[in-house]
């Protein structure tokens, strides 16, 4: 525990009061009833105004760890020299484009820089429509691709919610390949058959669109679905779905905003572990370790299709953002974070399977590397939304931070900074074991 910061401008109560007065309620907070006031962070730890230390198991944005010294230095040094728009020639943009595209397979060797994953996905839609001269898109159910007006229709995770605008006629939604609680379940059909049926749904979506006279120009897929509940696509699904889309004349987009930079432990990009070949890849979040920077990586032919219209983004690709992104890539490679994700993630997945056998409220454990989901259920796979929330709250008061997501809010998500250690994993598992025992005990008592 650190000493409380006595130099804060506001007390926690004052901060909450000022926020309520001047910030819209639609801008939500974690732990809304008793929000955490975080004033500093380092590595995989965050600190509140009283000096309490929290183990961060949820912050995939701080990819190489909060306030990594190399990233902070890169931002500070460049900010002291120059921060301007990308129409001025500067080494950082060229160096970042070179270094970033070097970790992508051919022919994905051209980058365009933006400020957020949403901007990158919006640009992907614009490029695909221009390149294919087709308007419509196919997306996976419960997908989330961003908060812009162009992207909410591509995000069933948002438009299906109460108060959402519902589906648009230009977006065709296919079942997401959830083999645990989705339309086709592996324990009923077998994994191979379930996968085949999910792939057939993509083919059917193209057929149905054509019957309606619609022309699909883009197939969007998160390489692994995060907001949908840490959905791990069955082997080969993405490769086969992309092949169908390409045969039908559509471009394929792999959204790596939440999954890239080695998080899966096996590959730099999650689409690679599926053997998939996207036409466009969008990245963000991890790219800047908390700094707003993103990119779209594609082929020269697709990137140049906007001509003669130019693409100009005032802050996209500015020298500071590029310096930060270069530092993040450098740290990822020098500190072997991908290997760490594999070792620590595999250990956690193995131990979580042990907890699954011990506690009936854990229906499924799934993941790759440091991208893990724990689905909480009642008998019959009924979503145990309340139990997931109870576990999140209980761990918070043990100063361990996890998140909960999925369309039914019943999936516990573990996606910490990549410096998350074996010792951190053991701490998380130990406290989860204790709190799950309490939760399951209370549930049984309630039934009696």
**pLDDT tens column, 354-406:** 999 999 999 999 999 999 999 999 999 999 999 999 999 999 999 999 999 99
Q: DSSP strand E in 27-91: where?
A: 38-42, 45-48, 53-56
Q: Which two tokens stand for residue 217?
A: 């120009």
Q: Which two tokens stand for residue 225?
A: 């679905």
What pLDDT was estimated at residue 6?
55
Per-residue model confidence as pLDDT tens digits over 219-230: 999 999 999 999
What pLDDT was estimated at residue 237?
98
What pLDDT was estimated at residue 448?
41
What pLDDT was estimated at residue 142?
95
What pLDDT was estimated at residue 393?
96
Contact in structure between 271 and 256 (CB atoms under 8 Å): yes
**Whole-number Å distance between alpha carbons of 237 and 241:** 6
Q: Which two tokens stand for residue 14?
A: 């004052």
pLDDT tens for the 448 residues of the chain, in order = 655 655 678 999 999 999 999 999 999 898 888 999 999 999 999 999 999 999 999 999 999 999 999 999 999 999 999 999 989 999 999 999 999 999 999 999 999 999 999 999 999 999 999 999 999 999 999 999 999 999 999 999 999 988 888 889 999 999 999 999 999 999 999 999 999 999 999 999 999 999 999 999 999 999 999 999 999 999 999 999 999 999 999 999 999 999 999 999 999 999 999 999 999 999 999 999 999 999 999 999 999 999 999 898 989 999 999 999 999 999 999 999 999 999 999 999 999 999 999 999 999 999 999 999 999 999 999 999 999 999 999 999 999 999 999 999 999 999 999 999 999 999 999 999 999 999 987 665 555 4
What pLDDT was estimated at residue 364?
98
Instruction: Collect all residues with Cβ–Cβ distance below 8 Å to 431 and sequence separation of at least 6.
Output: 395, 398, 400
What pLDDT was estimated at residue 447?
53
Instruction: State the pTM of this model.
Output: 0.94
Burial class of residue 70, CB neighbours in 10 A (0-12, 13-18, 19+): middle
What pLDDT was estimated at residue 165?
87
């Amino acid at each position: 525990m650190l000493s409380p910061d006595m130099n804060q401008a506001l007390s926690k109560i004052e901060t909450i009061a000022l926020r309520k007065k001047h910030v819209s309620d639609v801008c939500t907070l974690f732990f809304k009833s008793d929000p955490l006031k975080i004033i500093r962070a380092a590595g995989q730890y965050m600190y509140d105004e009283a000096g309490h230390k929290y183990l961060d198991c949820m912050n995939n944005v701080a990819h190489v760890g909060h306030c990594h010294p190399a990233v902070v230095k890169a931002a500070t040094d460049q900010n002291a020299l120059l921060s301007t728009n990308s129409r001025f020639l500067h080494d950082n943009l060229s160096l970042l484009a070179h270094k970033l595209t070097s970790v992508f397979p051919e022919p994905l060797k051209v980058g365009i820089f933006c400020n957020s994953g949403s901007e990158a996905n919006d640009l992907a839609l614009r490029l695909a429509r221009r390149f294919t001269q087709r308007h419509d898109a196919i997306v996976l159910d419960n997908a989330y691709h961003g908060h812009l007006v162009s992207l909410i229709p591509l995000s069933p995770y948002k438009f299906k919610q109460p108060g959402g605008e519902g589906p648009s006629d230009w977006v065709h939604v296919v079942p997401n390949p959830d083999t645990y609680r989705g339309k086709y379940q592996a324990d009923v059909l077998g994994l191979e058959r379930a996968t085949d049926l999910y792939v057939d749904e993509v083919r059917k979506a193209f057929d149905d669109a054509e019957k309606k006279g619609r022309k699909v120009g883009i197939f969007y897929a998160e390489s692994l679905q995060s907001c949908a509940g840490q959905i791990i696509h069955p082997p080969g699904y993405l490769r086969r779905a992309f092949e169908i889309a390409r045969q039908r004349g559509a471009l394929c987009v792999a959204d790596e905003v939440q999954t890239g930079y080695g998080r899966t432990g096996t590959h730099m990009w999650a689409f690679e572990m599926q053997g998939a070949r996207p036409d466009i890849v969008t990245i963000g979040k991890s790219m800047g370790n908390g700094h707003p920077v993103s990119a779209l990586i594609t082929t020269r032919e697709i990137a140049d299709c906007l001509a003669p219209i130019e693409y100009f983004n005032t802050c996209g690709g500015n020298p500071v953002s590029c310096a930060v992104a270069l530092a993040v890539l450098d740290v990822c490679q020098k500190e072997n974070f991908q290997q760490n994700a594999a070792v620590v993630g595999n250990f956690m997945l193995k131990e979580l399977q042990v907890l699954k056998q011990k506690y009936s409220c854990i229906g499924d454990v799934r993941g790759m590397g440091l991208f893990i989901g724990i689905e909480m259920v009642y008998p019959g796979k009924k979503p145990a939304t309340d139990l997931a929330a109870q576990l999140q709250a209980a761990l918070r008061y043990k100063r361990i931070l996890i998140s909960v997501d999925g369309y039914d809010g019943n999936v516990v998500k573990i996606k910490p900074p990549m410096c998350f250690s074996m010792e951190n994993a053991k701490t998380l598992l130990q406290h989860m074991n204790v709190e799950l025992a309490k939760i399951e005990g209370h549930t049984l008592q309630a039934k009696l």
